[in-house]
Amino acid sequence: MEQMNLEQLWEVINEKLTEHKEPYARINGVYEFNVIDRDITYQIAFRDGEAFTYEESKEKPDCTLSMKEEDFKKLLFGKLNSTLAFMTGKLKVKGNIQLALVLEKMLNEYELTKD
């Protein structure tokens, strides 16, 4: 799965969010992911137990995470410690930092590495 391109990976994320809603049932907010070395933006909006994914900046983000493609994939696969990445400059966060911390915990519940 780690060999997927970003577009394929985003499709898998969308499927996982649709299949398994419990990890984000209590999250309300819009995450924006800027993949800076590819000039690509993705968003996930969580509202009332539902997730909406976008392949663009569609809504005003509550939390924006900017990183390179390699680090974005590591984040999604639970192989990037977001706190360490933030402190070493691999990850830049704007907006609600608490949402960023919630995101890492939520992603770990999806166990993307087991597919």
Q: pLDDT tens-digit profile of 50-102?
A: 999 999 999 999 999 999 999 999 888 888 888 889 999 999 999 998 998 89
CA dist 105 and 103 (Å) reads: 5
Number of domains in the chain: 1
115 in any annotated domain: no
pTM, entire model = 0.90
Higher pLDDT: 103 or 60? It is 60
1 in any annotated domain: no
User: Bridge-partner residues for 31, per DSSP?
Assistant: 44, 63
Structural domain range at position 22: 6-110
CATH number of the CATH domain containing 78:
3.30.1050.10
What are the two backbone dihedrals, phi and then psi, of residue 52, each rounded to the nearest 5 degrees? -125, 125
Whole-number average pLDDT of the chain: 90
Q: Is the pLDDT of residue 115 over 50?
A: no
